[in-house]
């Protein structure tokens, strides 16, 4: 079985975001890069499928402007077999990213049976690539998946829907699955795994290799700025039990009469 | 004047609030609405009141129930002949799932989850949060039309004044194509409350909740004010709450009118996900907790003491 996992490298969740002087993007010089957290569930699920289907290969695909190979090395250290890295100079929009991944999969010469992605990347939060890629490849997709069961080529997938409800999908491979937190518990890369990963194949491609150029850009971002700061609020001390009722009464009054939200 | 199609999603007998928010914002353009479910008279009335010139009901095989492929195929079939410049949907569960596929059908640009937008003549220009709301960016679309946009619920707000449209009701058949990923069953959530992303009020608990059972006191408060209950990553990772309740960069980004944070210290990734809430109340024993820097009203105190009192006080006036 040919399994592909798409990973993205994103700033660590603790990162303090600072727009660049020309507001064209954010400062990236001192950022700690990590694998997109949702992609860890995608890698783990691919490894679980491979454990049950030993003739499988797991290929990691990453498209990105950041040169460090943190995300693909982590994925291979967790156990993926090989990686394709499509390098670019500028951040791409979702359409270009999906088209580049499609090109990379085609270049690999393997026909995908399963494609795993994270449900979203936590940097641009577009949630577009899974749907775009699935449509470009002509395969179905199920997003925000928290339960995965596979019986032969039939998959039963549970998708988180509104208000904590779940949609149960039945679908046959090939299919793209966008993974959510809760699907599994991603393993940590072991030291031997990290050593082995250094010897695993890593193919580097350019955008031209995968048939993507600036004419494919459909979304333009500009004017990056910090959200406006709120003026300081009012803070009341209610550690003392005798104060609690009056403080709470006061805040309720403010919510009703000043903020007018209840 | 741009020609705009808005997907109207059903909510009870009416339509989702975000549909009306979008309609209120695109007033002045040629606006039509498309629906998959037969609208009630009440829904038709409010769609017209908010500016819908036409209300299209589309029907086809397999469309009784949502599926990403069925809805995408049906909408692309419908949109093809319509000369639309823009397609808008709420960034709802279905909208987030389906609109990227729909944009792919047209090889068109899509702006995800904008929180505001303007039209300069016929050209769309939006604002959207990036990095879970740690910063904002301007987003513009180019290439062939229609362009696709999803709008975050509760971000635009309802207009103070509306310009009514004719609300002409039109039924039509569409081809829903080949549906391979099919929903076999929908498992209802424990609560029937609004999704966090659409909730008007959210009561959220953090690590200081100490136990899953303690979320009961937040549920009680939520019932009093009509809120949905959320949680911080610390609470979810400690097993006190389900991930579907998580607010923050690796959970849901929310912008309710009122956000009540109980026992949440305010990690940067949590603040990113809720800072656009209109009014924030924080309850925490640590007077230096970062959550207080974002709170309009901070109460330094023990949530197990404060929340029940708050519940009783609110019951008196609601």
Residue A255 sits in the same domain as residue A136:
no
How many other C-beta atoms are found inside a 10 Å radius of the C-beta of residue B275?
23
What average pLDDT does this structure show over B11-38? 96
The answer to whether the Cβ–Cβ distance between B287 and A237 falls below 8 Å is yes
Q: What is the mean pLDDT of chain A?
A: 96
Q: Are B194 and B200 in contact (CB under 8 A)?
A: yes
> Are B249 and A13 a contacting pair at CB < 8 A?
yes
Question: For A89-105, what is each residue's pLDDT tens digit?
Answer: 989 999 999 999 999 99
Is the Cβ of B308 closer than 8 Å to some Cβ of chain A?
Answer: no
Q: A141 and A244 share a domain?
A: no
CB contact under 8 A, A13 and B143: no
How are beta strands B182-187 and A166-172 bridged, if at all? antiparallel
Whole-angstrom distance, CA of residue B316 vs CA of residue B308? 13
Helices B303-317, B215-225: inter-axial angle, 10-degree rounding: 20
| 8 A C-beta contact, residue B49 and residue B23 | no
pLDDT interval class at B5 (50, 70, 90) = very high
ipTM of the complex: 0.94
CB–CB of B227/B199 below 8 Å?
yes
Beta bridge partners of B58: B172
Pick the CATH number of B196-317 from 3.30.1360.20, 3.40.50.1220, 3.40.190.10, 3.40.30.10: 3.40.50.1220
A67-81, B100-114, B189-203: lowest mean pLDDT where?
Answer: B189-203
Residue A239: the pLDDT is 95
Residue boundaries of the structural domains of chain B: 3-173, 196-317
The pLDDT of residue B74: 98
pLDDT for the residue numbered B271: 95
Question: Searching chain A, which residue's CA lies closest to the CA of residue B105?
Answer: A135
- The whole-angstrom separation of Cα B260 and Cα B218 is 10
SS3 of chain B: the string is: CCEEEEECCEECCEECHHHHHHHHHCCCCEEEEEECCCCCHHHHHHHHHCCCCEEEEEECCCCCCCCHHHHHHHHHHHHHCCCCCEEEEECCHHHHHHHHHHHHHCCCCEEEEECEEEEECCEEEEEEEEHHHCEEEEEEECCCCCEEEEECCCCCCCCCCCCCCCCEEEEEECCCCCCCCEEEEEECCCCCCCCHHHCCEEEEECHHHCCHHHHHHHHHHHHHHCCEEEECHHHHHCCCCCHHHEECCCCECCCCCEEEEECCCCCHHHHHHHCCCCEEEEEECCCCCCHHHHCCEEEECCHHHHHHHHHHHHHHHC
Q: How confident is the model at residue B273 (pLDDT cuts 50, 70, 90)?
A: very high
Question: Which pair of structure tokens corresponds to residue B106?
Answer: 């047209």
B52: pLDDT strictly greater than 90? yes
Determine if residue B70 is left, alpha or beta; phi over 0 gives left, psi from -120 to 50 gives alpha, anything else beta. alpha
Q: Which residue of chain A is at minimal alpha-carbon distance from B239?
A: A182
Share the mean pLDDT of chain B.
96
From B200, B221, A44, select the one nearest A60 (Cα to Cα).
A44
pLDDT of amino acid A193: 96
pLDDT given for residue B189 in this prediction? 81
pLDDT attached to residue A229: 86
- In-domain check, residue A168: yes
Contact indicator for B215, B170 with CB cutoff of 8 Å:
no
Q: How far apart are CA A126 and CA B112, in angstroms?
A: 5
Helix (H), strand (E) at residue A148: strand A141-151
Name the band, by pLDDT with cuts 50, 70 and 90, for residue A257: very high
Q: What's the pLDDT at B81?
A: 86
Comparing B149 with A164, the larger pLDDT belongs to: B149
**For residue A37, which residues of chain B lie inside 8 Å, CB to CB?**
250
Q: Which of A214, A222, A220 is nearest to A99 (CA)?
A: A214
- Same fold flag, B3-173 and B196-317: yes
Which H helix or E strand runs over A157? strand A154-160
CATH of the domain at A60: 3.40.50.620
The pLDDT assigned to A163 comes to: 83
Residues A170 and A196 reside in one and the same domain = yes
Burial class of residue A52 in the structure, from the number of CB atoms within 10 Å of its CB (0-12 exposed, 13-18 middle, 19+ buried) = exposed
User: Are A167 and A236 in a shared domain?
Assistant: no
Cβ–Cβ gap A234/B297 under 8 Å: yes
Percent pLDDT > 70 in chain B is 100
Does position B17 have pLDDT exceeding 80, yes or no?
Answer: yes
Give the residue on A whose Cα is nearest the Cα of B130: A124
B250 to A181: CB separation less than 8 angstroms, yes or no: yes
Checking if the pLDDT of B32 tops 80, the result is: yes
B158 touches chain A (CB under 8 A): no
| CA–CA gap between residue B2 and residue B29 (Å, rounded) | 5
Mean pLDDT along residues B51-65: 96
A134 with A187, same domain: the answer is yes
Asked if the C-beta of B288 comes within 8 angstroms of chain A's C-beta atoms, the answer is no
- Shortest CB distance from B109 goes to which of A219, A224, A251? A219
Over residues A179-206, mean pLDDT: 96
Domain coverage including residue A142:
2-216
Q: For residue range A48-77, what is the model confidence (pLDDT) as tens digits?
A: 999 999 999 999 999 998 878 889 999 999
**What is the pLDDT at residue B192?**
74
Question: Does the residue A225 lie in any domain?
Answer: no
Assigned domain for A223 exists: no
Asked if residue A160 and residue A234 are part of one domain, the reply reads no
- One domain, residues A258 and A201: no
Q: How far B263 CA sits from the closest chain A CA (Å)?
A: 14
Q: Which of A143, A147, A172 is nearest to A48 (CA)?
A: A147
- Total CB pairs under 8 A between chain A and B: 285
Judge: B268–A14 Cβ closer than 8 Å, yes or no: yes
> What is the rounded CA–CA span in Å between residue A56 and residue A164?
34
- Asked whether residue A164 falls in the same domain as residue A44, the answer is yes
Residue A222 lies in a domain: no
pLDDT tens track for B260-272 = 999 999 999 999 9
For residue A246, the SS3 value is helix
Q: Could you tell me if A210 and A120 lie in one domain?
A: yes
CB contact under 8 A, B228 and A162: no
SS3 A169: strand
What pLDDT is attached to residue B149? 98
Phi-psi region of B67 (alpha: psi -120 to 50; beta: other; left: phi over 0): beta
**Among B110, B137, B310, whose Cβ lies nearest the Cβ of A222?**
B137
Does A11 contact B141 at a Cβ distance shorter than 8 Å? Answer: no
- Select the residue of A227, A255, A256 nearest B133 (Cβ to Cβ): A227
Span A214-254, pLDDT tens digits? 999 999 999 999 998 888 999 999 999 999 999 999 999 99
- pLDDT bracket for residue B134 (50, 70, 90): very high
pLDDT, tens digit (0-9, with 9 covering 90-100), for B215-224: 999 999 999 9
Rounded CA separation B228/B318 (Å) = 17
Share above pLDDT 90 across residues of chain A, in percent, rounded to a whole number: 93
Contacts of B134 in chain A (CB under 8 A): 15-17, 226-227
Q: Is the pLDDT of residue A18 over 80?
A: yes
The torsion angles phi and psi of B124, rounded to 5 degrees, stand at -75, 135
Distance CA B3, CA B1 (A): 7
Contact A171 B279 (CB under 8 A): no
- Asked if A211 and A242 sit in the same domain, the reply is no
Which of B137, B276, B306 is the closest to A221 by Cβ? B137
Domain tally for chain A?
2
Are B299 and A224 inside 8 Å of each other by CB? no
Structure token pair of residue B127: 């604002």
CA distance B101 to B139: 19
A167: chain B residues, CB-CB within 8 Å: 66, 183, 185-187
Mean pLDDT of A184-205: 96
CA atoms within 13 A on the CB side of B108: 23
pLDDT, mean of residues A5-25: 95
Residue range B154-197, pLDDT digits in tens: 999 999 999 999 999 999 999 999 999 999 999 988 777 889 99
Nearest residue on chain A to B226, judged by CA atoms?
A262
pTM value? 0.94
B9 in reach of chain A (CB within 8 A):
no
CATH topology of domain B3-173: Rossmann fold (3.40.50)
Average pLDDT over every residue of B202-222: 97
Are residues A126 and A7 located together in one domain of the fold? yes
Report chain B residues whose CB lies below 8 A from the CB of A179.
none
Report, as an integer, the average pLDDT of B231-247: 96
**Are A195 and A253 found together in one domain?**
no
């Amino acid at each position: 079985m040919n399994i592909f996992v798409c990973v993205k490298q994103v700033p660590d969740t603790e990162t303090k975001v600072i727009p660049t002087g020309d507001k064209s993007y954010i400062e990236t010089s001192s950022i700690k890069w990590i694998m997109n957290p949702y992609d860890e569930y995608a890698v783990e699920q691919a490894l679980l499928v491979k454990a049950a289907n030993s003739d499988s290969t797991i290929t990691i695909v990453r498209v990105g402007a950041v040169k460090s190979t943190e995300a693909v090395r982590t994925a291979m250290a967790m156990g993926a077999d090989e990686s394709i890295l499509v390098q670019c100079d500028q951040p791409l929009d979702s359409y270009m990213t999906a088209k580049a991944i499609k090109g990379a999969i085609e270049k690999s010469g393997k026909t995908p049976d399963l494609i795993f992605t994270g449900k979203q990347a936590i940097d641009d939060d577009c949630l577009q690539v899974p749907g775009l890629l699935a449509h470009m490849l002509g395969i179905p997709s199920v997003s925000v998946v928290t339960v995965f069961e596979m019986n032969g080529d039939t998959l039963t997938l549970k998708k988180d829907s509104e208000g904590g409800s779940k949609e149960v999908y039945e679908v046959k491979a090939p299919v793209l699955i966008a993974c959510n937190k809760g699907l599994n518990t991603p393993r940590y890369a072991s030291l031997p795994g990290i050593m082995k990963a250094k010897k695993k194949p890593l193919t580097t491609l350019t955008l031209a290799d995968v048939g993507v150029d600036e004419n494919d850009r459909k979304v333009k971002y500009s004017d990056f700025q910090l959200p406006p700061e709120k003026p300081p609020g009012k803070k009341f001390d209610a550690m003392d039990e005798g104060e609690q009722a009056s403080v709470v009464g006061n805040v309720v009054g403010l919510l009703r009469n000043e903020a007018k939200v209840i | 004047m741009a020609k705009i199609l808005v997907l109207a999603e059903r909510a009870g007998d009416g339509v989702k609030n975000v549909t009306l928010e979008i309609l209120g914002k695109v007033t002045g353009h040629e606006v039509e609405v498309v629906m998959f479910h037969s609208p009630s008279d009440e829904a038709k009335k409010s769609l017209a009141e908010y500016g819908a010139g036409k209300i299209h009901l589309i029907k086809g095989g397999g469309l009784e129930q949502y599926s990403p492929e069925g809805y995408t195929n049906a909408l692309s079939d419908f949109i093809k002949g319509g000369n639309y410049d823009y397609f808008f949907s709420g960034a709802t569960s279905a909208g987030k799932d389906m609109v990227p596929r729909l944009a792919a059908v047209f090889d068109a640009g899509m702006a995800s989850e904008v929180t505001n937008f303007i039209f300069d003549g016929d050209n769309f220009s939006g604002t959207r949060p990036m990095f879970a709301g740690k910063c904002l960016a301007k987003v513009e679309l180019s290439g062939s039309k229609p362009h696709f946009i999803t709008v975050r619920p509760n971000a635009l707000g309802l207009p103070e004044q509306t310009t009514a449209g004719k609300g002409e009701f039109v039924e039509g058949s569409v081809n829903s194509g080949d549906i391979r990923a099919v929903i076999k069953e929908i498992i209802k959530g424990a609560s029937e409350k609004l999704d966090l992303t659409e909730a008007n009020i959210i009561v959220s608990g953090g690590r200081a909740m100490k136990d899953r059972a303690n979320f009961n006191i937040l549920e009680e408060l939520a019932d009093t004010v009509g809120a949905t209950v959320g949680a911080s990553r610390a609470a979810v990772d400690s097993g006190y709450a389900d991930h579907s309740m998580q607010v923050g960069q690796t959970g849901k980004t929310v912008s309710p009118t009122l956000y009540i944070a109980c026992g949440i210290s305010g990690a940067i990734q949590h603040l990113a996900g809720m800072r656009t809430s209109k009014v924030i109340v924080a309850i925490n024993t640590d007077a230096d907790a970062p959550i207080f820097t974002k709170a309009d009203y901070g109460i330094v105190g023990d949530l197990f003491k404060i929340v029940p009192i708050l519940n009783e006080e609110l019951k008196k006036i609601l």
